[in-house]
Amino acid sequence: MPSAPSFRVAADVGGTFTDIVAFDEASGRLVFGKTLTTPTRLVDGIVTGVDKAGTSVSLARLFLHGSTIAINTMLERSGAKTALLTTRGFRDIYEIGRINRPQAYNLFFRKHQPLIRRSLRFEVNERVGAAGQVLTALDEAQLADIARQLHELEVQAVAILFFHSYCNPAHELRAKELIEQWCPGTYVSASHEISQEYREFERTSTVAANAYIGPRIKTYLGEIQERFAREKFAGSFYVVQSNGGLFDVAQAQRECIRMLESGPAAGVIGARAVCERLDLDNAIAFDMGGTTAKAGVVLERQVLMAGNIMVGGYDEGLPIQIPLIDTQEVGTGGGSIARIEEGGGLRVGPQSAGAAPGPVCYDLGGSEPTVTDANLVLGRLSAGNFLGGEMKLNFEKARQALSSRIAEPAGISLTEAANGIIRIAATTMSNVVTRVTTERGLDAGDFAMVAYGGAGPLHASMVARELRIPKVIIPPSPGHFSAYGMLMADMRRDFVRTWFRAVDKLDFAEFESLFGVMEGEGIATLARNVPERERIRCVRAADMRYVGQEHPVEVELPASLFEARDPAALKRVFDDVHMQRYEFNAVKEPAEIVSLHSTVIGMLDKPVTSAIAALADGESRSPTPSSRRPVYFTESGDFTDTPVYDRAMLLAGHSIAGPALVEEYASTTVLLPGDRMEVSRYGDLVITIARS
C-alpha cells in the first residue's frame, strides 16, 4: 500500500446502505466497500465503508460525496426553524403558488404546504424594478426591528427573496450582511445566490428550501471534515451536484439545495459512461436501492437535464428552480414495507424499513415484511450469500412475517403473497420509468435499460417486460454504481440569467458579452481545481419561446451561430427544437429569448474500464453454474430448479439462457424464462428480454 495519497474515493450515502468505490490512481484498480448506513451519524458509515474497501481516508487524494440527506430533510420536514424576508406586499406568494389543480373535481385536493409558516414570513420596505432600478430604498431601520424578532423567536435560518433581485441583488446583499451581523450563527441564504431567473414563486420556494435544509447540511458536511481531519485526510473534498457535476464543500454548504439529487445524478452519469463503451446512443438509467427507485434518461449520449423539479410530486410538491439532471423517483426499494390496507388491498411502500431496523430478514429488529423479504422467500436471494456471505439473512423470520402480516390476512398462500409484493413493486417502478420517457414524448421501447443499485438487477427484467424494453444492461458492481458514477463526473458550474430579447432585434455583441461574463466567472472558479485551460469547456444555451407563449424550451446554441451572427439562423434552430419537442412549430411567428444558460465544465481524469478475460477459441459459451436452487417465476407458475452463476467466474463471450441467477458481492441479477444474457468485453451483463 503506497504511503502517499493516491486514491480517489467516492461515497454514496443512501437510506439503507453506504457504498464506497476507491480508484487507485497509481495502479488503476478499483476497490469496493459497502456497509449499512448509520442514520444517527452518517460519517461513521462512510469511514467504515472506506475501511472495508481496504484503504483509508488518509490515502485519499480526492474524496467525492453524494447523499440523500438534502432531499430527505425536505421530504421528512425535519429542517431548521426558518424565516422568510420578502418585498412588502408579497408575504403570501410562497403559499399562493401557481394555483395548480391537477385534479379539478377532487373536493379533497390539498395544496402544497410551505416549509415556512406564515408567522415567520416578514415583509420588508424595499422595491427594485424589472430593469434593476431601485424604486424604494431598503429600510434598514425596519430590518433591525425584524432582526430583533428573529432573535426572540430563536430562528435558525433566514431566506431572503426580494423582487427582481436577479437583475439587481444590492438589497439582498445588504440585507444578508445586516442579518448575519445582527443574528450571529444564523444560516442566511439570499435568492440571487441560488437562482438568477425570473418567476418569484419558484425563486421563493428555492431559497426557502436552501435555508430550511442549510443548517443540517452545513453541520453534516462539517462533521465529515472534522472526522477526516482526525483521520489525517489532506486531499480535496468535493460534493456531487444534482446536475451531475462536482463542487467544493464550502460552496455546497452555502448552496446545499444543489446537492438535492446528488446520488441519483451520479448514477445517470455512470449510465452515460456505459453507453459510450458499449456504443449505445439511448438508455434509461434505472436505479433501485433499499429505499427508493430512480430513473433518468441518456438521449443521443447526452444526459437529459431540467431547469426545475417538484419535490413531493406535481400535485402537492414544492418547486426547486436550479439546473439538474431530469430524474424521477418513487418510494419503492428493497426495504419498502408491504402491508394489507383497509379493504384488503396489498400496498408496497412508500414507507421503508431503511437501515434501522431494516427488512425482517436482516434480523436487526424489523417486524414488517419488505420487498427484500419477498425476494428471499421466492428464492431470488440467497440467505447465506448476501453481501458475499458477510451478512446472513434469516429466512424463517422473513417467512413468518409474510405469513402473519400478508398471506393470512389476505387469505392467500405464502408464495402468492411474496409474488404479489414483487409484481406490485415492478409495476410501481415501471411508472417511474414512464415518467422520464413517455411523459417526455419518448418511447421506452426505443431505449436500452442500464440497471443498477443493490436491488435494480433483481427487478430490471420484470420492469423491462412491462414496458417492452428490448435490452437490459447490468454493469459491473451494480450495487456500487452510483458511487462509481461519481468517479466519472467532472467539475461543473451552471449559470442561468433571465434576459428578455426579441430574436429579430438581437444584438449579438451584447448576447455574446453576457455569455462571456458567465463563462469568465465559471472558468475562474474551476481553475483552482482544473488549472489547464484546455480541459475547461463551455456550453451555451437559451430558453426561447414564441411571442405570446408562457413556457419556453431550452435550445443549445452551437458556436456557428455566434460566428454567423444571424438572428434568422437562431430562429431556425429554435423552430427545429420546438418541432422535435412538440411535433409542431410556427415558422412565421416571432420568437424571443427568455433566459441564457452557460455550463462550464472542468474535465477530470476518469478511471479506464479494462476488458475482462475472454473465452478461448473453441471454449464452450455456456458457463458452469456454481449451484442450483428452486426459484419462483410468474411465467412458470411454480418453483423452478434454477442454475446460479458466480459473476466473478464469467468471461467475455459467455452466454446464459433464462431462467437463471447471477450472484455477486452486492447484487443478484435475475434472468426470467425466455431471457438470454451475454457477457460483454467489459464484463457488462447484456440481457435480451423475451417478448411476452
Looking at the fold, whether 63 and 127 belong to one and the same domain comes out as no
Which amino acid, one-letter code, is at 119? S
Q: Is the pLDDT of residue 2 over 60?
A: no
Mean pLDDT of 426-451: 89
Mean pLDDT across 103-124: 88
Quick: pLDDT tens for 465-480.
999 999 999 999 999 9
Query: Within this chain, do residues 417 and 540 fall inside the same structural domain, yes or no?
Result: no
**pLDDT at res. 4:** 60
Domain with 31 in it: what CATH number?
3.30.420.40
Work out the average pLDDT over 205-214. Answer: 95
Per-residue pLDDT of 354-398, as tens digits, reads 777 889 999 988 889 999 999 999 999 999 888 888 889 999 999
Our CA dihedral for 630, 635, 638, 644, rounded to 10 degrees, sits at: 0
Look over the chain and give the mean of its residue pLDDT values, rounded to a whole number. 90
- Answer with the one of 549, 578, 602 that is the final residue of a domain: 602
Q: Are 62 and 102 part of one and the same domain?
A: no
**72: which 3 cell numbers?**
430527505
- The pLDDT tens digits for 503-520 are 998 999 999 999 999 999
Query: Residue 438 — pLDDT band, cuts 50, 70, 90?
Result: confident
CB 369 within 8 Å of CB 398: yes
Measured CA to CA, the distance from residue 439 to residue 74 in angstroms comes to 25
pLDDT band at 692 (very low <50, low <70, confident <90, very high): low
Q: What is residue 670's predicted lDDT score, i.e. its pLDDT? A: 96
Report the candidate in 601, 643, 648, 286 with the shortest Cα–Cα distance to residue 433.
286
Answer with the one of 602, 629, 647 that is the final residue of a domain: 602
Is 614 a residue whose pLDDT tops 60? yes
Please report which helix (H) or strand (E) contains residue 222, including its range: helix 200-230
* pLDDT tens digits, 268-314: 999 999 999 999 999 999 999 887 888 999 998 989 988 888 887 76
432 φ, ψ (degrees, to nearest 5)? -70, -35
Residue 1 clears pLDDT 50, i.e. is over it: no
Residues 41 and 107 in one domain: no
Which residues, 6+ apart, have CB-to-CB distance to 260 below 8 Å? 70, 71, 74, 242, 309, 311, 320, 322, 324
Q: Is residue 680 part of a domain?
A: no
pLDDT at 390: 83
pLDDT at 5 over 70: no
Q: What is the pLDDT of residue 528?
A: 79
CA 335, distance to chain mean position in Å, is: 19
Each residue's pLDDT tens digit, 532-543: 888 899 999 999
Mean pLDDT of 81-96: 94
Cα 188 from Cα 211, distance rounded (Å): 7
Beta-bridge partner residues of 128 = 134
627 assigned to some structural domain = no
Is residue 29 domain-shared with residue 69, that is, in the same domain?
Answer: yes
Number of domains forming the structure of the chain: 4
Residues 22 and 98 in one domain: no
Share of the chain above pLDDT 70, in %: 99
In a domain, 282, yes or no: no
* Domain-located, residue 673: no
Are 98 and 200 within one domain?
Answer: yes
Tens of pLDDT, residue by residue over 10-43, are: 999 887 788 999 988 878 788 898 888 888 888 8
For residue 481, give the DSSP letter.
H
The pLDDT tens digits for 631-653 are 999 988 899 999 999 999 999 99
The grid cell for 74 is 425536505
Residues spanned by the domain of 588? 491-602
What CATH number is given to the structural domain containing 499?
3.30.1490
d(CA 465, CA 687): 12
User: 1 and 320 in contact (C-beta within 8 Å)?
Assistant: no
110 and 209 assigned to the same domain: yes
Q: How many whole angstroms separate alpha carbon 299 and alpha carbon 564?
A: 28
In CATH, what number is assigned to the domain containing residue 194? 3.40.50
| Domain-embedded: residue 426 | no
> Are 180 and 223 within one domain?
no
Is there a single domain that holds both residue 105 and residue 209?
Answer: yes
Burial class (CB in 10 A: 0-12, 13-18, 19+), 675: buried
Higher pLDDT, 155 or 530: 155
Domain boundary among 259, 287, 321: 259
Q: Which is more confident, 423 or 389? A: 423
